[in-house]
Amino acid sequence: MKLDPEYIDDGSSFVKISPHSLQPEHFTEFSIFARYEMGQENKKKFIYRCLLVGGQSIPRKKLMEILQSWENVYIHRAEREHFKEYVRTNLHLILNNEDIAIEKRAQTFSSFSSEVIKDAFKITFGSMGVEKETLGNVRSLVAKAVDFIASARSLDGLAKLAGHDYDTHTHSVKVGWLLAVFINANQDLFDVQSESELRNLIIQATVTGFLHDIGKIKIPRNVLNKRGRLNNMELVTIQAHTAYSLTLLFETDLPHCLRQAILYHHENEDGSGYPCGIGGDKIPLLAKITHMIDVFDAITSRRPYKEHRTPYEALKIMTGSNPHLEALNKLEKEVRENMKVPVSALVREATNSEEKEQRERQIIETEEKKRLEARTTLRDMGMAHCFDQGLLVKFINTLNQSENFDLSAFAHKQEFSGE
């Protein structure tokens, strides 16, 4: 498709990209556009003017000046696949380019990886499992990025992504990314005998993080995308995603220990988690680590029904001993068993059975909502029972390698005791 030098468009025909995702030495056949406001008379449309046509001859220095003078540039959707292939091919060059601020490189990696995961979820939707090619694409992406994401300095960029809206694909990127950093920083926890074994473990674990929630494609959209707290039945439905994920990945060559991490990444240290209710040493090491990272990112992400917490606040919750643990476990048990909540009042004023049934249903729904809100409130009073405390210390110390997380108060184990 031959593109015009200028368009007037509402934005639907263009995709925003970062200029920092472009490497002049490896430029390819796609056009770069700048966007201009049209003014008060037409706020819903923009002028998209071509800055550069792929392949045209221009000195590197001049090209960098053009690109870096813009916060964002755009490509036409007709050339989106060309651009994705370009980034896939040159990702390692982009991520290791010291001329680009680490926050910009982190954003490029997050955005592109989210697109790859989104594609993997789409391809898998409706199928019996993750195809070899799909897993290979994810693994290839991680292999090209592993030197960047596994380094402690990448945390400076990752920290800037905290607090954004929760999205399954972006969340999966951050979980995989933090797994890479954690494993690299705590090699003593793992039985690896060489640099190549360590690198392979990091790649495989990052892929695990990227795909740990792939089972959510089997969850009904109205439940997964609900803008509000889930009721008991919906929570039980969501909790099935770990088993779905394992099923979808069962026929792949992902190592057994990593498939276990996906299945058990919601198990709690005290045995109060799901899907199997196992605890302590029965939970595989990588499952414990994935669970810890998964919860950390969930708490620090913004949801439709709650604001995000800072990393410090999230870890305060995760390391705190819960003073109402018995009540919390009772509510958690109610969710797992999908028990009906007790009706706290009898409807006596109803004039007919239909009205009585409707009023009783309203009472039950109101009571259930109160109990779910109480469950969330109680959980946020402390989650130390969910995690291996030794791993939590290592996780905090890992994050503390970046000043951008500002977790100095948690620098040593003795500085938190659940209070």
Cα atoms found within 13 Å of the Cα of residue 340, Cβ hemisphere only: 7
Q: Which domains does the chain have, with CATH numbers?
A: 1-79 (no CATH), 101-321+382-415 (1.10.3210.10)
Which residues fall within 8 angstroms of residue 5, CB to CB, at 6 or more apart? 49, 50
Higher pLDDT, 366 or 14: 14
pLDDT of residue 338: 61
Higher pLDDT, 175 or 403: 175
The model's pTM? 0.82
Residue type, 271: G
Under the phi-then-psi rule, with left for phi > 0, alpha for psi from -120 to 50, and beta for the rest, what region is 263? alpha
Contact 3, 78 (CB under 8 A): yes
CA of residue 120 relative to chain centroid, distance: 14
Per the DSSP assignment, residues forming a β-bridge with 8 are 47
Task: Kindly report, residue by residue over 109-133, the tens digit of the pLDDT.
Answer: 998 899 899 988 888 877 778 888 8
Residue 38 has pLDDT above 50, yes or no: yes
Instruction: Determine whether 9 is exposed, middle or buried from the number of CB atoms within 10 Å of its CB (0-12, 13-18, 19+).
Output: middle
Say how far apart CA 215 and CA 235 lie, in whole Å. 14
Identify the band that residue 89 occupies on the pLDDT scale cut at 50, 70 and 90: confident
Say how far apart CA 301 and CA 400 lie, in whole Å. 19
Identify the band that residue 411 occupies on the pLDDT scale cut at 50, 70 and 90: low
Mean of pLDDT over the chain: 84
- Whether the ω angle into residue 275 lies within 30 degrees of 0, i.e. cis, is yes
Residue 319 has pLDDT above 80, yes or no: yes
Task: Kindly report, residue by residue over 221-240, the tens digit of the pLDDT.
Answer: 888 878 777 777 888 888 89
